[in-house]
Structure formats: C-alpha cells, structure tokens
Amino acid sequence: MNKYVKKMTEGIDKPTLFVYSLLRFFVIVVLIIQLIHGNWQNAFFCLLTLILFLIPLFVDKNFKIDLPTPLEIIILVFIFSAEILGEIQNFYGIFKHWDTLLHTINGFLCAAIGFSMIDILNRNENFHTKMTPIFVAFVAFCFSMTIGV
C-alpha cells in the first residue's frame, strides 16, 4: 500500500499534496462519524468524495496532463465544498446563496479548464497551430458557458 501511495503522489507539488491530504483527512473523519451514526447515504457521499479527489491525480498520471497547482487545489476544494459542506453539513440549507456560490465557482473552473486545455495544446510539440490569446479567451468563455451552466 505504501508503494502505491508513493507512486500516486510522486511528482505532485507540495501545496497540492498538502490540500489533498488535509481534505482527505477531513472526509475520512466525517465518513467515520457518519458510519457511527448509521447515516449510510452520507457515508456514500464521503466515499464518492474520496473517489472524486482521485480524478486530478488520475488525469495527471494517466494522460500526462499537468494541471496548474491553483486549478488543482480549487477543484479539490470545490468537490469538498459541494459534497461534504453542501450535502452532509447542510450548507445548502444554512447559507442562502451557497448553491449560487458553487455554480459561480464552477463557471470559473470550467473557463480555467478550457483555458488550460488550449494552453496544453499550444505547448504540445505535435500540435502545429499556435492560438492567439483572444481565441484562447473566447474558447475558455464558450467552454464555461456550455459546461458550467
């Protein structure tokens, strides 16, 4: 197990690894509490969150796509905010605009992902077309409008 964890976290920068470990710890604590109380649906949400946390690592390792550190951290915090805080801690009910806040962040995330995809293509040696910054901004905007809504 230790070799697997070492291999999965190899090459990940320290800030991302810190946030990932901290959020994972909180989710495991919440999972244990939910299991003790017999809240099976919330325990499922915790397991789902732990699986979703692996997506940036999976993309990085299997597709050799290096996500920018701030983007990766925002994705992890977004997943935590939606699943653990929103669903289990009932932030959707407690804070009037929690859902609006998460949808706004999701739109920015989608724009950042669209921008990152174009940036990755621009840096790829096999891709021979270079895109102008205006075109990149346009694609990022369109990506956020179609995916983030």
Say which DSSP state 111 is in: H
Q: What is the pLDDT of residue 71?
A: 83
Please report which helix (H) or strand (E) contains residue 139, including its range.
helix 133-147
Q: What is the pLDDT of residue 41?
A: 95
Q: What residues make up the domain containing 119? A: 97-149
Q: What is the pLDDT of residue 8?
A: 63
Q: What is the pLDDT of residue 148?
A: 47
Q: Are residues 85 and 14 in the same domain?
A: yes
Q: Are residues 131 and 141 in the same domain?
A: yes
Q: Are residues 146 and 103 in the same domain?
A: yes
How far is it, in rounded angstroms, from Cα 92 to Cα 85?
8
Q: Are residues 2 and 53 in the same domain?
A: yes
> Mean pLDDT in each 10-residue stretch from start to end of the chain (149 residues)?
62 84 96 96 95 86 79 90 94 93 85 76 71 76 63
The amino acid sitting at 13 is: D
Q: Are residues 32 and 103 in the same domain?
A: no
Domain count, the chain: 2
Q: What is the pLDDT of residue 93?
A: 94
User: Using CB atoms within 10 A of its CB, is residue 89 exposed (0-12), middle (13-18) or buried (19+)?
Assistant: middle
Say which DSSP state 96 is in: T
- Kindly report the number of other CB atoms within 10 A of residue 28's CB atom: 13
